[in-house]
Each structure stands twice: as structure tokens, then as C-alpha cells.
Amino acid sequence: MPDSSPSSSRPPQVGRRTLLGAAAAATAAPVVLSSASRAAAAPAPRKKPRALPGGGNLGPNVLVFDPSTPGIQARLDEVFRQQESAQFGTGRYALLFKPGTYSGLNAQLGFYTSIAGLGLSPDDTTINGDVTVDAGWFNGNATQNFWRSAENLALVPANGTNRWAVAQAAPFRRMHVRGGLNLAPSGYGWASGGYIADSRIDGQVGPYSQQQWYTRDSAIGSWLNGVWNMVFSGVEGAPAQSFPNPPYTTLASTPVSREKPFLYLQGSEYRVFLPEKRTNARGVTWGNGTPRGTSLPLTQFYVARPGVSAATLNQALEQGLHLLLTPGIYHLSEPLRINRANTVVLGLGYATLIPDGGVTAVKVADVDGVRLAGFLVDAGPVNSPTLLEIGPRGASRDHSANPTTVQDVFIRIGGAGPGKATTSMVVNSRHTIIDHTWVWRADHGDGVGWETNRADYGVVVNGDDVLATGLFVEHFNKYDVQWFGQRGRTIFFQNEKAYDAPNQAAIQNGSTKGYAAYRVGDAVTSHEGWGLGSYCYYNVDPTIVQHHGFAAPVRPDVRFHNLLVVSLGGQGQYECVINDTGSPTSGTSTVPSTVVSYP
């Protein structure tokens, strides 16, 4: 396999005619003008755009409650009725609770709904009740419970156990459950999640039917069971390493982590807290008083509303403001350009960016400490070469002291309508932390088909020293992940190959049957991964054979721990797990083939 990134990640070339024209203009003989001519020729002075204000109202789709607010349950129920089955709808909501105690609530969360407390600690905001995700809308199947979140709350569940039956793109962050947590739907139907971070669950976590799960830097009372791939890093109370039976991958700590920024109230003032970086992290950040980090007043943010132009958002960034994206859909005629170190772009309620005309949605310069968090990028109908770029091609600066973080930033191609992108996410900056992403070429919804929502590559990592914690990438036409940077690390990877490949020829990769889900470039000399899984479900042509899920150069410092591949119901097969190693999947039996250590 040739070791090259897709050409789409390279910067556009400058046209030869443009360069020649510029050179001719620079060397042309000067023309002497009279004073009158000079006056006539002088351009009118450009007016500087009026400075944009920071702060402001959070808009109609951010619902803020305090313990004295009347009718909270009715309002929660109203939002849920609207969002329960609106998988590809346009509604977006953030439900925010001021510090205090609330009793008798059951906040059921549908699509594009986030619930969060507004204290500095989860224990500042206590709900005597539940924050519930179930799957009644889909006949008890939780595998499509995407795009919803819970953050920064303490829960005292009504019956002792809170139900959180989610799939991808549904983070459970900075939560304190004073009881147990059930990750399965009522009836224990299918489930395919999920992600917990910086949370404390006093009782037992019961995944039951969950196929895979990643828990990071948390504390749990106990963990009940595992299906295929349960991964823990920095989790107090985690089960011992035992993959593949039970399928637990357990790391004592997370090498580097920095928790997601969050909105909170200081008195009556909104601020955004920026947790500090931790190395060899373990347990929650908020257990002993005030969390470590810094905060920014909302007046330093441009509070964006749907309908604002990309030019205005870029003006705010150039002016030195951060961005707070309130819930809704934003069409971009040009990329958001983040050129200033330590810039924060924080979305509420699954704020969604749609690049129009084939532009890239977000481009980040090779600078320190950018924090991207809490938004969705939805590809537009005109092919974008890339959707999200972290650093320009060739970025090489050392960001180890203050990395860029990409957290709960989700990418979708198709599903809500036609969308195309050659490469979804390109990471060029060194030391970037990708902490929980779901990069998804849609397998259902509108605008879905092998060529209709064409997307060849999911994530391409060119930068050195990049860490991914919670990497979900699915259904791309070619490689889902390609990793060309040195010293990359991934803790937890979940993948499904594209369901809709029409035949074997459509996925043939030279002499290799199929494109690996996760490929490490031939020139890489150091790489490591823990708890990686790839599944196939070739439902258009079940005779398709995928040679392997993982591909990597055979070198002593390119190491993998606890790999698996699964054929779902025999719809397609894997011949090996990684390179030419590992047993083939076994016919119609949905049983993983595993490799505990490679090489």
C-alpha cells in the first residue's frame, strides 16, 4: 500500500497565471501622477467594521431553570416530545439548571438535547430524579440514540438507578450519580455506545447489552459485564485487565487529558471554565473543592445565534473574542479561521455547522491551546476536500505544554440530506488531543448511497504525538482512519465498515481485499493503541471479504493491545484481525476474532 495522504489535505495551489500577473504588476515602470491625479486615484479610506460586542442573551433554545421556576417538568416533557424521534430534525436545545436542589424531575432526552448544571462542581446542582435516555421511539433498540449529552449534574435516581441507553455522540461528562447507572434500554434490546468521562457513579454501572464502551478518568462503585469491548483509562474501581474474556482493557491512568470547557454561573454572571491539563490522570477533577483551571467571563465570547454569517464569526475571532455557539444550524460560506492561541469555540445544544459550496468548516492555525468543544459539523451537498483541519499541512510546532483539544466535536456526512467530503478531519498540529469524537458517514437517513454521500477518508493524522481518547469513526468508502504521524496513541476505537459497498470490486485496495478501518502509515516507527474494534455488516453484498480490520508496519515500537473484528450476522467476513495475523471471523456467528498483543 502506498504511504501517502489523500491529496485533498494539501493546500490549494496558486494558479500560474495569477503569479505571472502579480510579477508583471510589481515590475511595471512607475507612472508619475499630478497632485490632482493622485487625489483622484487615492482610494477612499475603508471603514473599519464596528466592533462586535461580547456576551449577551443565550437565545430562545437555551432554557435556564432555577429551583423556583414553575412548570419545569412540563417544559422538559415538551422539548422531549419534539425531539424524541427527530433524528435528522432541525431542533436544538440546551437545558441548563442553576445551582440548587430540584426534586421529582425526570428529564427525558431526545435528539440534539443537552442537559447541564451551572455550578463549578456537579454537586452544586442536584436533581432528586432522573436524566433518562431510553429507546421506546425505536421499539427498544438503542443503537440510534445519538447526539445528546448530560454534564455537570448530581443525580439521586428515583429508583436507585439512572437509565442512560445511548449510542454514539452521547457523552456523559462530569456527572455524579448517587446510585447506579444502567446503560441498556428497557427490555435490554440492542445498544451500541458510548462514553463517560470525569464522572463518579457511586453504585454499579450495568452495560448489559452495550457492545462497546469507553470510560475515562472517573470513579465507579463496580462494573457489571462486558459484551465485546469495554475500555477504561484512569478509572478508580474499574475491573482488572482481562481481555478478551471478559473483554476489559484497563489502563491505570490516561497519559494526557484536559477536560472539556463548560459554562457556569458565578453569582449572576455567566463564565466559561477551562480545566487545566493533567498527565497520568486518574479519577475526577472536581472531587476536592474547586477544580483546577482558569475561567473567562462571557463578555469575552461572541454569543452567536443561528443565521449569523461566517464573515461575522471570523470578525469576532479576529477581534480577539472566543465563540459561544447557541443551539441551532449555522451555514458557512467560508471557513471559520482560528488563528489565535488559546481560542475557545464552545457549542451548546449540538450547534451545527454546515459548510456551503464545498468549503472547509473550521481551520485552526498551528498555535497553542485551542479548545474546540460541543458542536456538530454536517457536510454540505457540494464536496468539501476537508471539513475540519487542525493545523495547516506541515505544521511542526511543539504544543506539548498547551495542546489543542477537540472534544465532543462530531462530524456527519449524509443522513440529514446529501453531503460529501473527501476527508472529514485532518490533524496536522503536534500534540493534539482528540477526546471523544464520532465521525460518521451515514448509513441511513436522507442522501445516503455509495456515491450519494461519498466520503473516502474519515480521520487523517499527519501530526506527531497526537493522542485520541474515545475515537469512533464509521462507514467510510475507503480508510476510516489513517495515521501518518509519529508517536501516535489511541485509547479505544470503534468502527463499522461501510454497509453499502455494492460488491467486492468497489472496496478492492490494489491486491488487498478492502481498506483497513485503522491504518498506520508505512513510514511510522512508533505508535500504540489499546482496545480497538472493527465490525463489518455488508448488507448489500454479504459475500464481500475484508482481509483485515487493522494495517500497520511490523516494527517493535508499533504496538497494539486488545484488538477485535466482528462479522455482524455473517454479512461479510474478515480474513484476519491485523495485517495477516488473527483468525478469520466465523460464518454467521457474531463472535469476535481477537488479538491480545501485536506484534
CB 150 within 8 A of CB 169: no
Between CA 327 and CA 202, with CA 408 as vertex, the angle to 5 degrees is 105
Centroid of chain to Cα 337: 19
Rounded Cα–Cα distance for residues 421 and 459 (Å): 11
Q: Which residues contact 533 (CB under 8 A, 6 or more apart)?
A: 212, 228, 229, 493, 494, 495, 549, 563, 564, 565, 566, 592
The per-residue DSSP string of 171-229 comes to -EES-EESSEEE-S-TT---B---EEES-EEEEEEE-TTBSEEEEES-EEEEE---SSE
Q: Rounded CA gap, 84 and 82, in Å?
A: 6
Pairing of strands 200-206, 176-177: parallel
The grid coordinates of residue 468 equal 485520541
Give the active site residues: 496
User: Could you tell me which residues come within 8 angstroms of residue 486 by beta carbon, excluding any fewer than 6 positions away?
Assistant: 464, 465, 524, 525, 526, 527
The DSSP bridge pattern shows strands 176-177 and 154-155 to be: parallel
Strand ranges in 428-578 using DSSP code E only, listed in sequence order: 433-441, 457-461, 467-474, 481-483, 488-496, 508-509, 512-513, 518-520, 527-536, 545-546, 550-551, 558-567, 573-574
In angstroms, the CA 498 to CA 449 distance is: 10
Query: Please, are residues 390 and 428 in contact by the beta-carbon 8 Å criterion?
Result: yes
Three-state DSSP at 244 gives coil
Q: How many CA atoms lie within 13 A of 75 on its CB side?
A: 16
Copy the grid coordinates of residue 507.
472496496
Cα 39–chain centre separation: 55
Q: How many CA atoms lie within 13 A of 518 on its CB side?
A: 30
Burial class (CB within 10 angstroms; exposed 0-12, middle 13-18, buried 19+) of 117: buried
**Four-residue CA torsion sign, 300, 306, 312, 317:** positive
